[in-house]
């Protein structure tokens, strides 16, 4: 069972155990033998199974900016007593394809690097695998969007930004682009008509042009594309109409982050530090990858420790309150939890996410637990289930970028966990 | 007085005040106007006065690895009471060119970014200027060498490494290079005959080939040189004999760091964390720039917060003991403080450093205070004066790389400070 494979989209990948980075010895040796090297320049850092190492080591591959935790002590999340371990590890559930699974095995089958479960605000379960350690920040990918947009919605609440304004109100250079008549709220809810593909499996998709512009993917010799994120955004042309349907496009977040910076003068890194990392009592500094003019990548550049990700989930669960301080406006959190129009979401064709909507860059289930989620490619997940008083933070390095590859296990596993913990 | 210039080697540079990075607004704006951008690719991050910003922001320009401070509280260095401020700021001294100076003005004249003074283990004076803040790591440049070599000498003391062995004992690939018959002790004391120039003012000097190999300076299109530090080291050819004279060459440190990694399997970042950052109770994580195969730059890649640099100085002052724990062997620190042969040092022609020697990558003054120093280009300095119970940690962004440009002020300033604090 230690050398199996798993098949996704017709391709066989080494399974969770056989792709364990400790087995492969990535970057071990001085120098590591060439076949054990993980490099930025040759894109091996994005290859599988090298990714099982690189997602815990992003700052060694690209320039980054610190998200400072401040000078205070870490906040208390309790210490797992182990009382729930046997019950959780042995938890049985049926995946969305009808297969019976056990929780502990499912962690390997989702290529989990680490998972922490908070119930009633206390850590009840925590596991690390492979290259991840409790103090190491791991790539959050698009969970970054939920952090950034929650802060953006907060700026709207505070009157700093008007969500009904159109993009050129703040960024006149966006006239003549797809965004000329898009409002900030349409950005926040990703209801933008723009010619841009986020199909990770397609090497021609624009997501890779965006990544090369931002320097988070290597540029070919003689590269003559956009020099940074802002330049790239100004090339985007319209396709379809705004406000009609949900369409997930990372460039929308990058543009939102640009507006936040233009108006406040405060970088995303500093805003995350001042409004979240420091007052939440995060244990470790986080970091954001930056583009060639040192602009943090708001659409997906965050790395954070697993516990610090869980703290953010717990803050959202508590309606923005933390140790008697209201860190985020309660109305902002309530608005996110209410979601937006599921009919607009349905048009995007996420068959595994029936009934969901998307609000301020959170995925809102509208299920019996009122669960809402932050999601990142390759299995990153922050799952907040208010009616079960449950937060699950998970990092993974799944060979397939799209969440649809792990949702058939992830979604029923988390629901089963909620039932187990909350209703015994 | 706010728009003056200072002349070094026949070139006029904006002086300390007029080069203050807050005035220039480096990287301000979204995007910053092109004339305010500081970039890696065009080498502007190493230009003056852009450097006054970039030395506090190295990780935003190059990949880095974390030096973790661990989970504990920061150690107590006391809080400056201000009692000494007026006396120190007004301290008069004569520089080595015979000019009368005042301490507070001299900080600007040495392009100081931050300075902290510990007397009897307590902070008595602390100042930050320009882009530096207490929690921000600043480039240490060659102070990195003193950290790394102190750990290497500790490994020798522990019997992990034999300093009388020759380099190929651990690195057979170094046969046929300048280092074939060099011992580890000769590396530690920089008494190596190797064809390699460290003349920073010369764009053809090999130091830049080394930097390009390590990815800490941009590579031209079509670059075909060494791909990383280790590859570069294997190209070095002999010039002169080992053991005869001190010759300051950063590649010696890089090679020493390679041996440490080859033998222990522990990266420099992890060793710094486990042996210094964590047990010293450092306040902030540090970081090291890394090469394209993620090897930390032992010769000059460290960034640290100013107070954490001061903690290292205080540890050396106390003979390696910290809060009743012996973090470094007392014998290792004593050996460094004793220095090596001043006659071999004298051959290197440092006219401002008469009587000095160089031991385990520390500069040893053999003066009345038994002072010894860690030194980095552009004004980085850790000054430890045991007989005055004094530590001075200073970060700067001086337009001239060589310490000789600031020593005429720095050396008499620190001596005057020692007299003031220790003898009133």
Q: What SS3 class is residue A394?
A: strand
pLDDT tens-digit series, residues B11-24: 999 999 999 999 99
Closest chain B residue to the Cα of A171, Cα to Cα: B30
A61 contacts in B (CB within 8 Å)? Answer: 63, 294
* CB contact (8 A) between residue B57 and residue A294: yes
* CB contact (8 A) between residue A62 and residue B63: yes
State both tokens at A341: 């129009």
Work out the number of other CB atoms within 10 angstroms of the CB of residue B75. Answer: 16
B57 contacts in A (CB within 8 Å)? Answer: 65, 294
B297 contacts in A (CB within 8 Å)? Answer: none
Question: Are A122 and A269 in the same domain?
Answer: yes
Closest chain B residue to the Cα of A228, Cα to Cα: B31
Asked if A36 and A29 count as a contact pair (C-beta separation under 8 A), the reply is yes
Q: Is residue A385 part of a domain?
A: yes
Q: Is residue A36 part of a domain?
A: yes
Closest chain A residue to the Cα of B35, Cα to Cα: A293
CA of A401 vs chain B CAs: smallest distance (Å): 24
pLDDT tens-digit series, residues A339-371: 999 999 999 999 999 999 999 999 999 999 999
- Please list the residues that pair with B101 across neighbouring strands: B93
Interface of B with A (CB under 8 A): 27-28, 30-32, 37-41, 57, 59-66, 68, 71, 73-74, 135, 221-222, 228, 230, 258, 261-262, 265, 283, 285, 290, 292-295
Closest chain B residue to the Cα of A292, Cα to Cα: B39
Please count the residues of chain B: 424
- Please list the residues that pair with A8 across neighbouring strands: A11
Q: Is residue B51 part of a domain?
A: no
Contacts of A112 (CB under 8 A, 6+ apart): A16, A127, A129, A379, A394, A395, A396
Biggest alpha carbon–alpha carbon distance for chain A: 61
Closest chain A residue to the Cα of B222, Cα to Cα: A221
Residue from B25, B28, B31 whose CB has the most chain A CBs within 10 Å, to mutate: B31
The position carrying tokens 């970081």 is B287
* CB contact (8 A) between residue A73 and residue B73: yes
Q: Is residue A356 part of a domain?
A: yes
Q: What is the domain range of residue A34?
A: 5-62
A318-357 exposure pattern, b = at least 16 Cβ within 10 A, e = fewer: bbbebeeeebbbeebbebbbebbebebbbeeebeebeebb
State residue A303 phi and psi, 5-degree precision.
Answer: -120, 140
Question: Are A162 and A15 in the same domain?
Answer: no
Closest chain A residue to the Cα of B134, Cα to Cα: A71
B67 contacts in A (CB within 8 Å)? Answer: none
Nearest to A402 by CA among A363, A350, A344: A350
Q: Is residue A89 part of a domain?
A: no
Q: Is the peptide bond before A49 cis (omega within 30 degrees of 0)?
A: yes
Question: Are A56 and A121 in the same domain?
Answer: no
Work out the number of other CB atoms within 10 angstroms of the CB of residue B170. Answer: 19
pLDDT tier, A24 (very low <50, low <70, confident <90, very high otherwise) = very high
Q: Is residue A249 part of a domain?
A: yes
State both tokens at B378: 């552009």
- Kindly give the parts of chain B with pLDDT less than 50: 1
In angstroms and rounded to an integer, the radius of gyration of the C-alpha atoms of chain A is 20
pLDDT tens-digit series, residues A131-179: 999 999 999 999 999 999 999 999 999 999 999 999 999 999 999 999 9
Which of A34, A62, A90 is the C-terminal boundary of a domain? A62
The position carrying tokens 């933390």 is A322
A148: left (phi over 0), alpha (psi -120 to 50) or beta: alpha
Q: Is the peptide bond before A114 cis (omega within 30 degrees of 0)?
A: no
Average pLDDT over chain A, rounded to an integer:
97
Q: What SS3 class is residue A168?
A: helix
Separation in Å, CA B24 to CA A127, A141, B132? 48, 34, 14
What's residue A297's pLDDT?
Answer: 98
pLDDT tens-digit series, residues A292-351: 999 999 999 999 999 999 999 999 999 999 999 999 999 999 999 999 999 999 999 999
Asked if B307 and B134 count as a contact pair (C-beta separation under 8 A), the reply is yes
In this complex, how many residue pairs, one in chain A and one in chain B, have their CB atoms less than 8 Å apart?
89
CA of B105 vs chain A CAs: smallest distance (Å): 31
What's residue B1's pLDDT?
Answer: 43
Question: Are A240 and A373 in the same domain?
Answer: yes
Question: Are A51 and A121 in the same domain?
Answer: no
* CB contact (8 A) between residue A71 and residue B230: no
Residue from A22, A293, A305, A307 whose CB has the most chain B CBs within 10 Å, to mutate: A293
* CB contact (8 A) between residue B31 and residue A71: no
Q: Is residue B54 part of a domain?
A: no
* CB contact (8 A) between residue A63 and residue B61: yes
Which of A62, A81, A109 is the C-terminal boundary of a domain? A62
Residue from B294, B297, B298, B305 whose CB has the most chain A CBs within 10 Å, to mutate: B294
The position carrying tokens 């060639």 is A292
pLDDT at A1 exceeding the cut of 50: no
Give the pLDDT mean for A191-205: 92
Q: What is the DSSP letter of A34?
A: G
State residue B326 phi and psi, 5-degree precision.
Answer: -90, 95
A287 contacts in B (CB within 8 Å)? Answer: 59
Q: Is residue A67 part of a domain?
A: no
Closest chain A residue to the Cα of B40, Cα to Cα: A292
* CB contact (8 A) between residue B30 and residue A261: yes
What's residue A424's pLDDT?
Answer: 64
Give the pLDDT mean for A51-75: 98
Report the number of distinct structural domains present in chain A: 2
- The CATH number of the domain where B173 resides is what? 3.40.710.10
Nearest to B30 among A59, A64, A258 (CB): A258
Closest chain B residue to the Cα of A268, Cα to Cα: B30
B71 contacts in A (CB within 8 Å)? Answer: 74, 135, 283
A62 contacts in B (CB within 8 Å)? Answer: 63
Query: Whole-angstrom Cα distance, residue B352 to residue A168?
Result: 59
pLDDT tens-digit series, residues A101-131: 999 999 999 999 999 999 999 999 999 999 9
According to DSSP, the β-strands at A357-359 and A390-396 are: unpaired
Query: Whole-angstrom Cα distance, residue B282 to residue B189?
Result: 28
């Amino acid at each position: 069972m230690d050398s199996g494979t798993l098949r996704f989209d017709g391709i066989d990948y080494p399974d969770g155990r056989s792709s364990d980075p400790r087995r492969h010895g990535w970057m071990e040796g001085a120098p590591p033998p060439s076949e054990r090297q993980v490099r930025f320049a040759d894109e091996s850092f994005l290859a599988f199974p090298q990714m099982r190492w690189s997602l815990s080591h992003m700052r060694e591959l690209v320039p980054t900016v610190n998200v400072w935790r401040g000078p205070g002590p870490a906040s208390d999340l309790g210490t797992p007593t182990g009382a729930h371990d046997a019950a959780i590890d042995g938890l049985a559930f049926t995946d969305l394809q009808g297969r019976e699974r056990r929780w502990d095995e499912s962690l390997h089958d989702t290529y989990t690097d680490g998972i922490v479960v908070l119930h009633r605000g206390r850590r009840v379960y925590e596991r690390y695998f492979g290259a991840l350690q409790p103090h190491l920040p791991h790539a959050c990918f698009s969970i970054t969007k939920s952090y950034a947009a929650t802060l953006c919605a907060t700026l709207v609440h505070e009157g700093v930004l008007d969500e009904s304004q159109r993009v050129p109100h703040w960024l006149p250079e966006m006239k003549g682009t797809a965004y000329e008549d898009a409002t900030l709220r349409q950005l926040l809810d990703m209801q933008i008509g723009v010619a841009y593909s986020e199909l990770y499996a397609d090497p021609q998709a624009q997501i890779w042009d965006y990544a090369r512009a931002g320097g988070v993917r290597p540029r070919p010799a003689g590269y003559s594309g956009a020099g940074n994120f802002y330049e790239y955004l100004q090339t985007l042309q319209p396709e379809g109409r705004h406000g009609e349907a949900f369409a997930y496009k990372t460039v929308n977040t990058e543009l939102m982050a640009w507006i936040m910076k233009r108006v406040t003068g405060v970088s995303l890194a500093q805003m995350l530090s001042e409004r979240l990392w420091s007052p939440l009592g995060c244990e470790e500094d986080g970091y954001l990858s930056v583009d060639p003019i040192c602009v943090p990548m708001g659409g997906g550049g965050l790395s954070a420790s697993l516990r610090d990700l869980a703290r953010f989930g717990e803050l959202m669960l508590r309606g923005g309150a933390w140790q008697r301080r209201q860190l985020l406006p309660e109305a902002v959190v309530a608005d996110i939890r209410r979601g937006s129009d599921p009919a607009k979401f349905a048009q995007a064709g996420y068959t595994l996410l029936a009934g969901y909507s998307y609000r301020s860059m959170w995925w809102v289930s509208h299920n019996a637990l009122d669960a809402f989620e932050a999601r990142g490619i390759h299995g990153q997940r922050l799952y907040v289930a208010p009616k079960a008083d449950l937060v699950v933070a998970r990092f993974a390095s799944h060979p397939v970028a799209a969440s649809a590859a792990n949702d058939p296990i992830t979604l029923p596993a988390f629901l089963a966990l909620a039932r187990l913990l909350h209703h015994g």
